[in-house]
A and B are shown apart, each in its own frame.
Chain A
Amino acid sequence: MSLPDNSRTDISSFWNDTGKTGIAAWIFSTDHKRIGLLYFYSVLGFFLTAVVLGLLLRIELMTPGRTIMGPQAYNALFTVHGVIMIFLFIIPGFPGAFGNLIMPLQIGARDVAFPRLNLFSWWLYMIGAAIILTALFTGSGPPDTGWTFYVPFSSRTGTNVSLAVFGVFIVGFSSILTGVNFVTTIHRLRAEGMTWRRLPLFVWSLYATAWVQILATPILGITLVLVIAERALGTGLFDPARGGDPLMFQHLFWIYSHPAVYIMILPAMGVISEIIPVFSRKPVFGYKMIAFSSLAIAAAGSLVWGHHMYTSGMSDTAILVFSFLTFVVAIPSAIKVFNWVATLYKGSISLEAPMIFALSFILLFSIGGLTGLILGAAATDIHVHDTQFVVGHFHYTIFGGSGFAFIGAMHYWLPKFYGRKYAEKPALLGWAIMFVGFNITYFSMMVLGMKGMPRRYYDYLPEFAPLNLASTIGSWILALGLALVLVNLFRGLMKGESFGRNPWGGATLEWSVATPPPTENFEEEPVVTHGPYDFKGAGIP
């Protein structure tokens, strides 16, 4: 018996049921699913671009001295790699792509609270991205300050800082509007019976994230304006010769950019909270604590920004306070890890691609998190601040954490929207290659940092050469694995086997609609009577 074919090409769904066709039907659509896919492909494109830049960086660092580029190019390269990865991929990526695709479905809504504002958010993102790209190819060339744009260098360098920073400002505005949209949506558009205590944990994570987007991003906005003002108007607010304090830039910058890392990780954790129970066939352990921990991470994470500034000349009092608070923020993260592992205990585990990426998230993020404590404790930070150790740390959390979760989400949810599935074996093989390559690449960096190799340096001492070579080779293995994973996934989405309505057996509402979903999501507004991981209550074996 053959299963009914239900891919986007064969049945009526949001792909084709509006009667509108062509590019205009997509880039002017207010359907959260289409906007989600617009975001998805945009962020993926920027991600792959930045991956290439990262590979080039690693080729330069493969041997001491000049390998393939000069120091100016190197500085520009790590700046642009960071700017694209952070502002054009990981910050907008989760809320924009998966938040848009999944959240309204998960709360039983037809769309978000402000669909036209949602479309405007994507347009702002694209315009901001275009401005950033323009900054790379015009004038005196791409910025060379690092994505952190520290003064005094960012006030004085001749490169295109103002234009790039203006582009980031626009992208930040996009992020703010998405935050406003999502908070309003989650408050106002939950279906009947979808109480706060029945919200899927992914939605809780997006809610906490949206609050960070609302309350932290404006500080980035004003900081970027201040950088442009320093350069263009000579305001001198960060210039000691004019009475300014360069540390004030750092405070303002990190007041946003530390909470920003929680924008990057919270939705990723939300994805893990969705995948683990489904692939363990067990309700999640400690639902309330996981939901609460999302809010706690967002709140506590807004109190710790000074831990980026221990060696800046900040007061000892501040060092003490921020160091203490940094340890506090580790607690709710740990709660999540314990609860995920407790969910696995005595569960019926099946190791398909989403689960494999989710499980490796737990390991890699934990390594990132623990190395974060070494950085968070002021005494140890003194030795590893601004070394490759930091670079290793944040790649473990952002890539091993958020990145792997993003890929897991791609495998978990995209088949629902395409009606076709990837092949499991190549996905698992690709994962294994990625996992090996990832650890070689980034663990080497942590060792290098401990040994004293600085970050953002074009050259290094000969004693660091072997590990740098290893790290670069690791990056090639990682890239190979990534390529295999992505090619396999997209091949499957286009031509793979038919996916069905709910092959994973999820109990959240996105699995209750047809595959792919129709534009209005639900024929009638659903009435929710069971929790998001209550498989029995949802009638799923």
Chain B
Amino acid sequence: MSQAQHRDHAGAKLGMWLFLFTELILFGGLFLLYAVYLARYPHEFSVGGRELNVLFGTVNTMVLLTSSMFAAMAVTAVQRGQRHNVVRLLGMTVFCALVFLGIKYFEWSAKIGHDIYPGSQRLTTGPPGESVFFSLYYLTTGLHGLHVLIGGAVLTFVAIKVQKGKVNAGNYAWLENGALYWHLVDLIWIFIFPLYYLIL
């Protein structure tokens, strides 16, 4: 009986989707807390939301949506056998990831500079609802940022494989599944943005 390496593209995709479900539920726990505390502190959440920079948030949203488009285009490119396009598109996706993280760094530094961070003087002595809002903000965007980093690393790794020809039109589960992971990162932000920046 042949023991040759046997690839199951649909199986790999199923496995990736199942893993994405776990990520959804992981962030879901934070959204659960958000929902409960929003119901309890509607006013303080508005006040907190107004402290966040809508411009930065909107730009970051557009950056991630664009990066998602690039990742999806990279899948199209690999399916059409356009190796150079794939690498270029993945490169642009990762570039967007870096821009996102850069903006995030700005935002966080600004907040921390204004004494807004978990356990800070301002938050421990101010209205409790605001402390809750910002604790959730840091935890959620922090966990999300970590996933942006991981996703970017994965796509960089995939781009190298594409460059070497190991990922190609006949064998692109790595790219497809890496892109799926990236889209999840985008999806989480699609919910973070209005819930934190636009609850005004």
Contact = CB atoms under 8 A, between A and B. Distances in A.
Contact between chain A and chain B defined by CB under 8 Å:
yes
A311 B41 CA distance: 25
Interface string A236-248: 1100011111001
Contacts of A188: 8, 10-11, 14
A523 B28 contact: no
Contacts of A216: 25
Contact of A184 (B11, B25, B41, B135): B11
Contact of A243 (B18, B30, B131): B131
A184 B127 CA distance: 48
B52 interface: no
A369 B129 CA distance: 42
Interface string A189-233: 100000000000000000000000011111101110110010001
Contacts of A219: 25-26, 28-29
A245 B15 contact: no
B26 A221 contact: yes
Interface size range on B against A: 35 or more
Given A229-B118, A243-B132, A523-B1, A235 B139 contact: yes
B36 A248 contact: yes
Nearest to A177: B19
B128 A243 contact: yes
Nearest to A210: B18
B95 interface: no
B132 A236 contact: yes
A45 interface: no
B107 interface: no
A383 B15 CA distance: 46
A538 interface: no
Contacts of A189: 11
A520 interface: yes
A113 B7 CA distance: 10
Contacts of A524: 1
A234 interface: yes
A248 B118 contact: no
B127 to A, nearest CB: 8
A176 interface: yes
B18 A180 contact: yes
B18 A237 contact: no
Contact of A242 (B8, B22, B26, B132): B132
Contact of A214 (B1, B3, B18): B18
A183 B11 CA distance: 10
B143 to A, nearest CB: 8
B28 A237 contact: no
B33 interface: yes
B3 to A, nearest CB: 7
Contacts of B124: 234, 236, 242
Contacts of B22: 176, 180, 214-215, 217-218
Interface string A496-532: 0000000000000000000000001011110000000
B102 interface: no
Nearest to A235: B135
Interface string B28-62: 11101100110011001000000000000000000
A449 B172 CA distance: 60
Given A229-B139, A236-B131, A222 B18 contact: no
A522 B8 CA distance: 19
Nearest to A525: B1
Contacts of A243: 37, 41, 44, 127-132
Contacts of A176: 19, 22
A113 B11 contact: yes
Between A176, A233, A237, the greatest number of chain B beta carbons within 10 A of the residue's beta carbon is seen for A237
Contacts of A113: 8, 11, 15
A225 B26 CA distance: 10
B21 interface: yes
Nearest to A223: B29
B26 A222 contact: yes
B15 A180 contact: yes
Given A243-B44, A525-B1, 20 more contacts: A176-B19, A179-B18, A180-B15, A183-B18, A184-B11, A184-B14, A189-B11, A214-B21, A217-B22, A218-B22, A218-B23, A218-B28, A219-B25, A222-B28, A235-B139, A236-B132, A237-B33, A242-B124, A243-B131, A251-B32
Interface of A: 113-114, 117, 176, 179-181, 183-184, 187-189, 214-219, 221-223, 225-226, 229, 233-237, 241-245, 248, 251-252, 255, 520, 522-525
13 contacts: A183-B14, A184-B15, A188-B11, A189-B11, A222-B28, A226-B139, A229-B118, A235-B119, A242-B132, A244-B132, A245-B40, A252-B33, A255-B29
